[in-house]
Amino acid sequence: MATGAAHLSSSKLNLGLLRDFYRREFLECIDKCLGTKAIVWDDGLTGPFGLIAEYSLLKDHEVEKMFPLRTGSLPPSNVQNIVFLTRPRLELMEKIAQNLHHEETKGGYKKEFHLIFVPRKSLLCERKLKEKGVYGSFSTVEEFNMTLIPFDADLLSMEMNDAFKECYLENDFTSMYYAAQSLMTLQALYGTIQYIHGKGDCAKQVVDMMRRMRDEMGGREPQVLPQIDTLLILDRTVDLLTPLLYQLTYEGLIDEIFGINNTSIKLPAERLGPQPSQEGVESKKVILNSADTLFAELRDKNFNAVGSIVSKKAKLITAEFGERHAAKTIGEMKQFVSKLPHLQATRQSLATHTSIAELVKECTDADDFIDALRCQQEFINGLETDKVHPLVEECIAKSEKLSKVLRLICIQSICNDGLKPKVMDFYKREIIQTYGFEHIVTLNNLEKVGMLRPHGARTYQVIRKSLKLIVEEVNEQNPTDIAYVYSGYAPLSVRLAQYLARPGWRSITEVLNLLPGPKVEEVQQIPAALRKRRSSISSSQSSTGEQKLTLIFFLGGVTFAEIAALRFLAQQDDVGGELIVAATSIITSDRLLDSMGGDCCGTMEESPQ
């Protein structure tokens, strides 16, 4: 069943199980309408669904046509059913309504219409459809509860890019409900999680919702042996600094530069070496997950270490190809031939990653990148944060991308515990004058979520020192601390996870009190029959050194650099135990800041200059 998803099952927690679960549920859902069907896809869903099912599978279930959801009318087709697969978003309802109106005026052969909401029906959307007078045209309105998509053996994403904005800007906590629900799904599959820790308002809300959902089940709890020991839920507002910083791991940089979308990126084809018989293809899709063993090795490395690994691998593979000259007997030849497919695959992957690394290097070697990085390093070390920084001014004068300017200013604001009024006003005016008055809204939004704020109580220095966020002398090749992912800065969020594992949060109570939002601690009772016999009488069992499994859930998104730091942490002996990371979405500074823009702010990418 799990075709093309072997990489999901390679960790202690078999996430292939989750994928299979969704796959079954999805097929059941579309099978409810009989006969040939066309699926109309919300663009935001094609990527995630690609990770759980493939087109051939849908074809087997009589899906004959697939259309993207667009305004206007649907392309002609002679299927019996039209299935709209959509997220519960009002703007999409408009499009669906238009499609239906057109379809109905067309007349002719009568089709049946079905609507499937992912992950959940929404009252608002249904109302909208009723207002538009099309709700009655649907034979069925269903929901398909897919909230947490397995990206890799240790990574899950809800793919809700607007979760942060919705929660902290608009006070709309629907995504938190989905998060709680997805955690219930996980518990149904992998057993109840005994210990829950959390920090932040949303974390508390999620834990409360989980408690309620559990109460509602009233004893019908999953009879599954618990596989996850601890759950840590972190609000993004607890650590707003980390996602703003330039990620310096391989995967993090790829995401910042090209944007990884559902574990794949599109690259200019001509840069990926000679492509046999693929003329006219402008971009090529590259899938990035641990199924590619080379990528699995490279992804979490500091970019400065990538070059040497790639070249070592290249030498190795050349040597292995060279073995065929040494092969004399038929037996040796046979052995070589049996290795050949693997060798060829490795060589292909090596070529791909060499090209990607070159593209990344072009960006990281550029002056503007180095300057911005230097400026960032000054800020996080608490230098030059209380005055207008010349680089910021220059970026504005050059009309560089607004998200870059905002990024630097927000970093400065956080590291200075808020900007002095004079500095704030200066930046505000310059931004508005260069990027347009409409950005009053953007700046207002940033203030609302706390990324930009007026000068307040001094906490950054205390937090920085007590959690050892700044680490001098990091070894980028053979790191000894998580700080390698930002070349000298240890992500606050990951430090919290590290302290939780050892020696425990009690040791950092003071710092936790400085961070926003409440601390949450909860123990969920596990039926005696399902309890693990830890520290049991038979010493033989404990000596097997069974490792603890912790799930870390980021509300408001996580960056690839943080994921890398967590993976690094899991490999360290003193922390011990495996980690699984889940998040509302994978974010970068750009994606986070773009979502803060008011919707009336058209981007002024090209000015007459």
Partner 1 sequence: MDADDGEGFGDFRTRKKNIFDDDVSVEAAKKIITSARFDDDDLDDDMEILDLGSSTTSVKFSAAPLKSGGDMQFPKVNMLRGSNTGSNSSLTIEEAVGTMGRKFGSMDVDQMQQEIIQLRKQLLAARKERWTKMPVDLTLRRIMKGEPYSLENYRALEDKLSLLDKAVTLMDGNAITAAVLHLKKTVKRATFQQELMLRPVAANHYLAYLRGHFEHAELIDTLSMLGRSEEAAIVKYRLACSTGDINTKVSSLKACLRAHFEAEPSLAGDASLIREHIDLLERQRPIEDSDARLEAEGRTKVFLDFPRRFALVNMPVTTTLFYCCLYHYHLQENSFASPVSIKKRHELPERQFVWTAVSARAKAKGWTDIEQLLTAKGWFGGKKLKAAIGFGKVVDILHRFQAPHDILAKYLELVEDLDTRLTLAKKTDCKKAMIETLVKQKDRAGVEEFARKYSATIEAEYARRVLRDEAIRWK
Contacting positions for partner 1 (CB under 8 A): 1, 24, 27-28, 31-36, 56, 59-62, 80, 90, 110, 112, 121-124, 128, 139-140, 143, 170-174, 177, 205, 208-209, 212, 337, 340-341, 393-394, 396-397, 399, 425-426, 428-430, 432-438, 440-441, 444, 598-601, 604, 607-609
Min dist. Cβ of residue 141 to partner 1 (A): 8
Paired sense of beta strands 149-152 and 155-157, if any: antiparallel
Candidates 522, 585, 591; CA nearest to 554 is 585
Residue 218 CB partners (closer than 8 Å, separation 6+) = none
Amino acid in position 60: D
Which residue, 78 or 477, has its beta carbon nearer to partner 1?
Answer: 78
For residues 37 and 85, is the Cβ–Cβ distance under 8 A? no
For residues 360 and 303, is the Cβ–Cβ distance under 8 A? yes
148, 224, 285, 546, 547 from 227: Cα distances, Å: 18, 8, 35, 11, 10
Min dist. Cβ of residue 172 to partner 1 (A): 5
For residues 352 and 314, is the Cβ–Cβ distance under 8 A? no
Min dist. Cβ of residue 202 to partner 1 (A): 12
Residue 358 CB partners (closer than 8 Å, separation 6+) = 271
- The residue whose two tokens read 């926003």 is 516
Distance CA 109, CA 80 (A): 9
Candidates 33, 42, 139, 158; CA nearest to 93 is 42
Amino acid in position 202: C
Min dist. Cβ of residue 269 to partner 1 (A): 26
Distance CA 135, CA 74 (A): 17
What separation, in Å, do the N-terminal and C-terminal C-alpha atoms of the chain show? 56
DSSP secondary structure code for residue 385 in this structure:
T
Residue 319 CB partners (closer than 8 Å, separation 6+) = none
Min dist. Cβ of residue 385 to partner 1 (A): 20
Which residue, 139 or 466, has its beta carbon nearer to partner 1?
Answer: 139
Min dist. Cβ of residue 166 to partner 1 (A): 9
Which residue, 200 or 479, has its beta carbon nearer to partner 1?
Answer: 200
Q: Count the Cβ atoms, other than its own, within 10 Å of residue 215.
A: 9
Which residue, 284 or 324, has its beta carbon nearer to partner 1?
Answer: 324
Which residue, 56 or 329, has its beta carbon nearer to partner 1?
Answer: 56
For residues 299 and 288, is the Cβ–Cβ distance under 8 A? yes
Q: What are phi and psi of 4, to 5 degrees?
A: 65, 25
Min dist. Cβ of residue 213 to partner 1 (A): 10
For residues 527 and 208, is the Cβ–Cβ distance under 8 A? no
Which residue, 176 or 463, has its beta carbon nearer to partner 1?
Answer: 176
Min dist. Cβ of residue 393 to partner 1 (A): 7
For residues 443 and 428, is the Cβ–Cβ distance under 8 A? yes
Distance CA 190, CA 224 (A): 6
Strand partners, 197: 232, 521
Min dist. Cβ of residue 125 to partner 1 (A): 9
Which residue, 494 or 596, has its beta carbon nearer to partner 1?
Answer: 596
Which residue, 59 or 534, has its beta carbon nearer to partner 1?
Answer: 59
* Residue 233: CA count within 13 A, CB half-sphere: 27
Min dist. Cβ of residue 521 to partner 1 (A): 20
Min dist. Cβ of residue 31 to partner 1 (A): 4
Q: Which helix (H) or strand (E) holds 326?
A: helix 303-326
Give helix then strand counts, H and E, for the chain.
24, 14
Which residue, 306 or 593, has its beta carbon nearer to partner 1?
Answer: 593
Which residue, 419 or 463, has its beta carbon nearer to partner 1?
Answer: 419
Which residue, 438 or 546, has its beta carbon nearer to partner 1?
Answer: 438
Which residue, 191 or 418, has its beta carbon nearer to partner 1?
Answer: 418
For residues 142 and 116, is the Cβ–Cβ distance under 8 A? yes
Min dist. Cβ of residue 440 to partner 1 (A): 6
